[in-house]
């Protein structure tokens, strides 16, 4: 357990929580040397100013396993265990929220359908496929297949910490943070229409699969919360209520046919675009403008990327918002030979793709120009200082090669930042006409 300067943290203090006063009292009741007691007391005040919050046994178990290395002692960070306690809460809340997606509109039990035999967003014929889930569905199934295979391989090699990280990443970063947000437009469809009902049921089936496999993957690492959620999932589908300990643990290859490199590549485009829109909104639409729903214009010179953007507008919009931001008003791909409207802020994603957010009539462009010019002056001053350092006569001989490489990278980064800021100023100046 966590040990420093003679102070040993009791596992029950991590599970149930303990105040700083009680931690200090335990030290006072011990037999430490006065100097060691003083050091340990100050260490507690520094590391646990508010004491140790209640983490629970699942978080402690996961923390121990996440710190496990082959043949090494565990140097456990109690504050990191507190982070895993928040993961438990997120797991509980997100899964209970997902159960709402699975509840049939007419009541009764949810009956999952069959998954596709395999996934491929680019068929050999080049034509469209109508028998596959949506892009977010195909992506999360591919990520689930990867998590199952990776966890199996890691556990076979006794790489416990790596397996814990794989499962954590799937649940936290992919299923909770991305997939549950990405499928909101599908879950909001009117289920009375036959086509909508079929689309929703396909996504519900994928969601059920992810929860069922995900809980079984996580169970050895967090036995209590997964047991409760697994039994609730069984009740939702009308399956006999039984312990998750009797369920088969996912094995390598069981979902390998659901891997889809095209789906993962397409979702990378969605991630880049939605992240760019979020950053632009956060940078310019602050305070009272947070609730503004902007118009987005995308310049894309790559046909494959443009096809993803054109078909995944709702997914991009869903991922581009936050709890404080409404969905974007619209998103258009600028036709070849045309330019986005004046008065846009711009983010260049790569050589093929630019994102423009319309700010004309929404923000005071003159104030934004003044702010950007101040930013340019600041970056320019830092760049001049760096260039002066790099231009010194003894720079090449006295400065280590790694530092020279880092400085060259900093120079390129600052020059690119200045170029982007100047481009934004020109956009705003044009918008004032």
417: domain CATH number is 1.10.287
Q: What is the pLDDT of residue 176?
A: 94
The whole-model pTM stands at: 0.79
Structural domain includes residue 376: yes
Q: Are residues 33 and 151 in the same domain?
A: no
Residue tagged 């990776």 (tokens): 150
Closest CA to 358 of 243, 281, 276: 281
Could you tell me which of 326, 408, 419, 424 has the C-alpha nearest to residue 371?
424
What's the rounded Cα separation, in Å, for the pair 272 and 230? 34
Domain with 324, as residue range(s), is: 262-358
- Kindly state whether residues 234 and 294 are assigned to the same domain: no
- Please tell me the predicted confidence (pLDDT) of residue 131: 47
pLDDT score of 427: 76
CB 24 within 8 A of CB 32: no
Which token pair is 181? 């947000």
In a domain, 68, yes or no: no
Q: If you search the block for the tokens 């790559």, which residue do you land on?
A: 302
pLDDT at 209: 94
d(CA 66, CA 162): 7
248 and 129 in a common domain: yes
Cβ-contact 383, 375 below 8 angstroms = no
Element (H, E) at 319: helix 313-319
Residue 197 sits in the same domain as residue 284: no
271 with 419, same domain: the answer is no
Same domain, 246 and 325: no
Q: Is residue 64 part of a domain?
A: no
Question: Given this model, what pLDDT does residue 25 score?
Answer: 78
The 8-class DSSP code of residue 117 comes to S
Give residue 386's pLDDT: 93
Helix (H, G, I), strand (E, B) or coil at 123: coil
pLDDT at residue number 51: 73
Could you give the C-alpha distances from 417 to 86, 118, 375, 379, 431, in angstroms and in order?
36, 44, 10, 8, 21
Residues 382 and 244 in one domain: no
Tokens matching residue 45? 């005040």
In tens digits, the chain (433 residues) has pLDDT values of 444 444 577 777 778 777 778 777 777 777 777 787 778 788 777 777 777 777 789 988 898 888 876 556 666 678 788 889 999 999 999 999 999 999 887 778 898 888 877 665 544 433 334 445 689 999 999 999 999 999 999 999 999 999 999 999 999 999 999 999 999 988 888 766 666 788 888 899 999 999 999 999 999 999 999 999 999 999 999 988 889 999 999 999 999 989 999 999 999 999 999 999 999 898 888 888 888 889 999 999 889 999 999 999 999 999 998 777 888 999 999 998 888 888 888 888 887 888 999 988 888 888 878 888 898 999 999 999 999 999 998 998 888 889 999 999 999 988 888 887 887 788 778 777 6
How far, CA to CA in Å, does 374 sit from each of 285, 348, 366, 371, 381?
19, 21, 13, 5, 11
100 with 10, same domain: the answer is no
- Regarding whether 402 and 338 lie in a shared domain, the answer is no
- DSSP letters spanning 72-83: ------HHHHHH
Is residue 94 located within the same domain as residue 179? yes
Give the CATH number of the domain where residue 199 resides: 1.10.730.10
Among 198, 196, 182, CA closest to 314: 182
Indicate the number of domains in the chain.
Answer: 4
Contact between 144 and 170 (Cβ < 8 Å): yes
């Amino acid at each position: 357990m966590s040990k420093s300067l003679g102070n040993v943290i009791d596992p029950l203090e991590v599970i149930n929580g303990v105040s700083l006063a009680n931690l200090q009292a335990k030290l006072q009741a011990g037999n430490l040397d006065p100097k060691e007691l003083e050091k340990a007391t100050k260490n507690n005040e520094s590391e646990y100013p508010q004491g140790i919050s209640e983490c629970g046994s699942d978080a402690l178990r996961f923390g121990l396993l996440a710190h496990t290395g082959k043949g090494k002692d565990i140097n456990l960070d109690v504050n990191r265990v507190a982070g895993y306690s928040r993961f438990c809460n997120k797991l509980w809340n997100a899964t209970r929220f997902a159960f709402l997606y699975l509840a049939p509109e007419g009541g009764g039990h949810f009956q999952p359908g069959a998954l596709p035999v395999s996934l491929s967003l680019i068929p050999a014929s080049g034509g469209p496929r109508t028998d596959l889930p949506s892009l977010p569905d195909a992506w999360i199934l591919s990520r689930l297949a990867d998590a199952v295979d990776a966890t199996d391989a890691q556990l076979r090699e006794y790489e416990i910490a790596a397996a814990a990280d794989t499962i954590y990443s799937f649940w936290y970063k992919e299923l909770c943070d991305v997939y549950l947000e990405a499928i909101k437009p599908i879950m909001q469809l009117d289920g009375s229409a036959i086509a909508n009902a079929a689309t929703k049921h396909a996504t519900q089936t994928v969601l059920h699969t992810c929860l069922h496999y995900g809980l079984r993957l996580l169970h050895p690492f967090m036995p209590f919360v997964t047991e409760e959620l697994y039994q609730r999932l069984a009740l939702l589908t009308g399956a006999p209520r039984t312990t998750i300990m009797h369920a088969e643990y996912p094995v390598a290859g069981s979902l390998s046919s659901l891997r889809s490199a095209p789906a993962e590549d397409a979702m990378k485009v969605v991630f880049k675009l939605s992240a760019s829109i979020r950053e632009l909104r956060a940078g310019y639409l602050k305070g009272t403008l947070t609730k503004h729903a902007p118009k987005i214009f995308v310049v894309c010179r790559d046909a494959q990327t443009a096809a993803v953007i054109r078909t995944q507008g709702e997914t991009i919009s869903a991922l581009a918002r936050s709890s404080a931001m409404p969905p974007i008003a619209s998103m258009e791909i600028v036709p070849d030979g045309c330019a986005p409207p004046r008065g846009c802020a711009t983010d260049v994603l790569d050589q093929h793709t630019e994102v423009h957010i319309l700010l004309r009539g929404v923000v005071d462009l003159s104030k934004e120009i003044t702010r950007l010019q101040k930013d340019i002056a600041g970056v320019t001053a830092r760049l001049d200082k760096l260039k002066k350092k790099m231009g010194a006569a003894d720079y090449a001989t006295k400065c280590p090669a790694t530092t020279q490489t880092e400085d060259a990278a900093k120079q390129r980064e600052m020059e690119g930042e200045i170029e982007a800021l100047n481009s934004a100023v020109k956009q705003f100046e044009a918008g004032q006409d």
